[in-house]
């Protein structure tokens, strides 16, 4: 990290760090209890760390079902408020990259703090910011190597809880499918189960 970035970050984070999520119903945690969705899981894990650093962590899940982020992006500074970390998770309802680009640009322009963006596609922002974009992505985590494979019923018990039954070997893929009543199968297709929010 460049020295001026570090100084700027520590200045902004001196008293508090604000984590905001914008997205659709799966990001909002529909199909789970509110404390199970991943903004609250992040807060649960990271709040003690920030506390030890003398900082207050504020986490807000601003995701909502059916609409995505386009309408919030238009008034990002007012609706999302100040933010240090901003996550976009609306790929289920917003397919065009322009939607995500508007979300990111409005976040960078609005407010006094310039957030670190966590989204699946920064589009051309790296070039447009002259290489000064702070950006990360973990939304495609299910295809990444850091999620260990579930290989069988004995081996899965040795894995961290949040990674159990998330990514299965092809020989036991039924272990990761989740047995739900037919009335709830739609939720599994569109809304992530609790284990996915723990992992994220």
Burial of 9 (0-12, 13-18, 19+ CB in 10 A): middle
Whether residues 38 and 19 share a domain: the answer is: yes
Residue 183 has pLDDT above 50, yes or no: no
Whether residues 135 and 147 share a domain: the answer is: no
Name the one residue in this structure whose structure tokens are 């284990």.
195
User: Could you read off the pLDDT of 76-106 as tens digits, one per residue?
Assistant: 888 888 999 988 888 888 888 888 899 999 9
Q: Please compute the mean of the pLDDT values over residues 180-197 and round it to a whole number.
A: 48
Domain extent, residue 12, equals 3-139
Whether residues 135 and 157 share a domain: the answer is: no
Whether residues 52 and 105 share a domain: the answer is: yes
Of the residues 97, 114, 139, the one at which a domain ends: 139
Spatial separation of the C-alpha atoms in residues 100 and 74, rounded to whole Å:
12
User: Could you read off the pLDDT of 163-179 as tens digits, one per residue?
Assistant: 777 788 888 877 776 55
Burial 147-164 (b: 16+ CB within 10 A, else e): bebbeeeeebeebeebbb
Of the residues 90, 107, 139, the one at which a domain ends: 139
Q: Are 29 and 62 in contact (CB under 8 A)?
A: no
Q: Model pTM? A: 0.68
Name the one residue in this structure whose structure tokens are 């909002």.
28
């Amino acid at each position: 990290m460049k020295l001026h970035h570090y100084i700027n970050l520590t200045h902004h984070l001196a008293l508090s760090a604000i984590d905001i999520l914008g997205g659709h119903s799966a990001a909002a945690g529909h199909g789970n209890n509110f404390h199970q969705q991943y903004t609250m899981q992040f807060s649960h894990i990271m709040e003690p760390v920030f506390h030890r650093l003398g900082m207050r962590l504020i986490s807000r899940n601003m995701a909502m079902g059916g609409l995505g982020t386009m309408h919030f992006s238009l008034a990002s500074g007012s609706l999302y408020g100040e933010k240090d970390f901003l996550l976009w998770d609306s790929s289920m309802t917003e397919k065009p990259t322009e939607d995500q680009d508007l979300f990111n640009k409005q976040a960078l322009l609005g407010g006094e703090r310039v957030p670190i963006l966590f989204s699946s596609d920064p589009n051309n922002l790296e070039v447009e910011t002259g290489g000064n974009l702070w950006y990360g992505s973990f939304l495609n985590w299910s295809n990444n190597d850091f999620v260990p494979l579930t290989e069988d019923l004995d081996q899965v018990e040795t894995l961290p809880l949040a990674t159990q039954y998330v990514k299965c070997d092809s020989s036991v893929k039924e272990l990761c499918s989740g047995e739900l009543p037919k009335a709830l199968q739609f939720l599994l297709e569109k809304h992530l189960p609790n284990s996915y929010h723990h992992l994220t």
